[in-house]
Amino acid sequence: MDASVVARLLEQTARAVYDARGPRAIHAGQWAVLRYLARAGRQARTVGGVATYLGVTHAPASRAVSSLARKDLVTVRADPEDRRIRRIDLTAAGRSLLEHDPVHRLTAAIEDLSAEKQKDLAVTLEALYGRLAKAS
Protein backbone atom coordinates (compact mmCIF):
# COMPACT_ATOMS: atom_id res chain seq x y z
CA MET A 1 0.00 0.00 0.00
CA ASP A 2 1.23 3.48 -0.86
CA ALA A 3 2.59 5.45 2.13
CA SER A 4 0.47 8.50 1.25
CA VAL A 5 -2.68 6.35 1.39
CA VAL A 6 -1.67 5.07 4.83
CA ALA A 7 -0.94 8.65 5.99
CA ARG A 8 -4.37 9.84 4.85
CA LEU A 9 -6.02 6.86 6.53
CA LEU A 10 -4.24 7.64 9.80
CA GLU A 11 -5.29 11.29 9.53
CA GLN A 12 -8.94 10.30 8.85
CA THR A 13 -8.86 7.90 11.79
CA ALA A 14 -7.61 10.63 14.11
CA ARG A 15 -10.34 13.01 12.89
CA ALA A 16 -13.01 10.31 13.31
CA VAL A 17 -12.23 10.13 17.02
CA TYR A 18 -13.50 13.68 17.40
CA ASP A 19 -16.82 13.43 15.59
CA ALA A 20 -18.46 16.52 17.11
CA ARG A 21 -18.22 19.66 14.99
CA GLY A 22 -19.40 23.24 15.33
CA PRO A 23 -18.76 26.25 17.56
CA ARG A 24 -19.91 24.58 20.78
CA ALA A 25 -17.96 21.38 20.17
CA ILE A 26 -14.90 20.49 22.19
CA HIS A 27 -11.98 20.22 19.79
CA ALA A 28 -9.08 17.77 19.96
CA GLY A 29 -6.69 20.25 21.59
CA GLN A 30 -9.29 21.19 24.19
CA TRP A 31 -9.88 17.53 25.00
CA ALA A 32 -6.12 17.17 25.50
CA VAL A 33 -6.20 20.11 27.95
CA LEU A 34 -9.09 18.55 29.89
CA ARG A 35 -7.25 15.21 30.09
CA TYR A 36 -4.07 16.97 31.23
CA LEU A 37 -5.87 18.91 33.95
CA ALA A 38 -7.53 15.74 35.23
CA ARG A 39 -4.11 14.15 35.82
CA ALA A 40 -1.85 17.10 36.64
CA GLY A 41 -0.94 18.12 40.16
CA ARG A 42 -1.94 21.53 41.52
CA GLN A 43 1.42 23.15 40.74
CA ALA A 44 1.27 22.03 37.09
CA ARG A 45 -2.29 23.22 36.45
CA THR A 46 -1.27 26.53 34.87
CA VAL A 47 -1.26 27.86 31.31
CA GLY A 48 2.49 27.24 31.27
CA GLY A 49 1.93 23.63 32.32
CA VAL A 50 -0.68 23.20 29.60
CA ALA A 51 1.66 24.76 27.01
CA THR A 52 4.51 22.45 27.98
CA TYR A 53 2.24 19.40 27.87
CA LEU A 54 0.83 20.29 24.45
CA GLY A 55 4.22 21.36 23.08
CA VAL A 56 2.94 24.80 22.10
CA THR A 57 3.65 28.38 23.10
CA HIS A 58 1.76 30.23 25.82
CA ALA A 59 -0.69 31.96 23.42
CA PRO A 60 -2.46 28.86 21.97
CA ALA A 61 -2.52 27.21 25.40
CA SER A 62 -4.10 30.35 26.85
CA ARG A 63 -6.71 30.43 24.05
CA ALA A 64 -7.63 26.78 24.70
CA VAL A 65 -7.98 27.40 28.44
CA SER A 66 -10.04 30.56 27.84
CA SER A 67 -12.35 28.67 25.51
CA LEU A 68 -12.85 25.94 28.11
CA ALA A 69 -13.51 28.58 30.77
CA ARG A 70 -16.18 30.21 28.57
CA LYS A 71 -17.82 26.78 28.32
CA ASP A 72 -17.69 26.49 32.15
CA LEU A 73 -15.49 23.40 31.96
CA VAL A 74 -12.58 24.96 33.86
CA THR A 75 -12.03 27.79 36.30
CA VAL A 76 -9.03 30.10 36.20
CA ARG A 77 -8.08 31.88 39.41
CA ALA A 78 -5.09 33.81 40.69
CA ASP A 79 -2.89 31.76 43.02
CA PRO A 80 -3.41 33.09 46.56
CA GLU A 81 0.34 32.88 47.27
CA ASP A 82 1.53 34.39 43.96
CA ARG A 83 -1.06 36.52 42.17
CA ARG A 84 0.96 36.39 38.91
CA ILE A 85 0.18 32.67 38.58
CA ARG A 86 -3.23 31.56 37.32
CA ARG A 87 -4.40 28.18 38.62
CA ILE A 88 -6.68 26.16 36.36
CA ASP A 89 -9.12 23.61 37.74
CA LEU A 90 -11.73 21.39 36.17
CA THR A 91 -15.31 22.23 37.09
CA ALA A 92 -17.82 19.51 37.90
CA ALA A 93 -19.06 19.88 34.31
CA GLY A 94 -15.51 19.41 33.01
CA ARG A 95 -15.00 16.26 35.09
CA SER A 96 -18.38 14.95 33.96
CA LEU A 97 -17.59 15.66 30.31
CA LEU A 98 -14.41 13.56 30.57
CA GLU A 99 -16.63 10.53 31.17
CA HIS A 100 -17.67 11.00 27.51
CA ASP A 101 -14.14 11.56 26.21
CA PRO A 102 -14.03 10.52 22.54
CA VAL A 103 -10.74 8.74 23.20
CA HIS A 104 -12.83 6.08 24.97
CA ARG A 105 -14.21 5.14 21.51
CA LEU A 106 -10.69 4.79 20.17
CA THR A 107 -9.66 2.76 23.21
CA ALA A 108 -12.59 0.39 22.65
CA ALA A 109 -11.71 0.00 18.96
CA ILE A 110 -8.09 -0.81 19.86
CA GLU A 111 -9.23 -3.28 22.52
CA ASP A 112 -11.19 -5.10 19.80
CA LEU A 113 -7.90 -5.85 18.02
CA SER A 114 -5.94 -8.97 18.86
CA ALA A 115 -3.11 -8.57 21.36
CA GLU A 116 -0.61 -9.03 18.53
CA LYS A 117 -2.22 -6.29 16.40
CA GLN A 118 -2.33 -3.97 19.43
CA LYS A 119 1.40 -4.52 19.99
CA ASP A 120 2.18 -4.00 16.28
CA LEU A 121 0.12 -0.80 16.27
CA ALA A 122 1.89 0.51 19.37
CA VAL A 123 5.33 -0.20 17.92
CA THR A 124 4.40 1.43 14.61
CA LEU A 125 2.90 4.53 16.23
CA GLU A 126 5.91 4.92 18.53
CA ALA A 127 8.21 4.78 15.50
CA LEU A 128 6.13 7.33 13.60
CA TYR A 129 5.93 9.65 16.58
CA GLY A 130 9.66 9.37 17.13
CA ARG A 131 10.39 10.35 13.52
CA LEU A 132 7.91 13.24 13.55
CA ALA A 133 9.07 14.56 16.94
CA LYS A 134 12.71 14.42 15.82
CA ALA A 135 11.88 16.31 12.61
CA SER A 136 10.27 19.24 14.43
| 96, part of any domain | no
Query: Do 74 and 121 belong to one domain?
Result: no
The domain spanning residue 43 has which CATH number?
1.10.10.10
What does the pLDDT look like over 66-82, one tens digit per residue? 999 999 999 999 988 88
Q: Are 35 and 77 in a shared domain? A: yes
Question: pLDDT for 84-105, tens place per residue?
Answer: 889 999 999 999 999 999 999 9
- What average pLDDT does range 12-19 have in this prediction? 86
Residue 31 lies in a domain: yes
Q: Considering the chain, what is the average pLDDT of its residues?
A: 92
Summarised one tens digit per residue, pLDDT across range 42-57 is: 999 999 999 999 999 9
- Structurally, the chain folds into a number of domains equal to 2
For the cut 70, the answer to whether the pLDDT of residue 23 exceeds it is no
Is residue 72 within 8 Å of 50, Cβ to Cβ? Answer: no
Domain shared by 30 and 46, yes or no: yes
> Quick check: 135 pLDDT over 80?
no
Task: Report the SS3 class of residue 49.
Answer: helix
Task: Please tell me the predicted confidence (pLDDT) of residue 19.
Answer: 76
Residue 31 has pLDDT above 90, yes or no: yes
Residues 37 and 80 reside in one and the same domain: yes
Q: 74: helix, coil or strand?
A: strand
Asked whether residue 1 falls in the same domain as residue 59, the answer is: no
pLDDT score, position 25: 82
What is the span of the domain harbouring residue 122? 1-19+102-136
Q: Could you tell me if residue 97 is inside a domain?
A: no
Asked if residue 67 lies in contact with residue 32, where contact means CB atoms within 8 angstroms, the answer is no
Q: Are residues 76 and 45 in the same domain?
A: yes
What pLDDT, on the 0 to 100 scale, is given for residue 61?
96
Q: Quick check: is 56 in a domain? A: yes
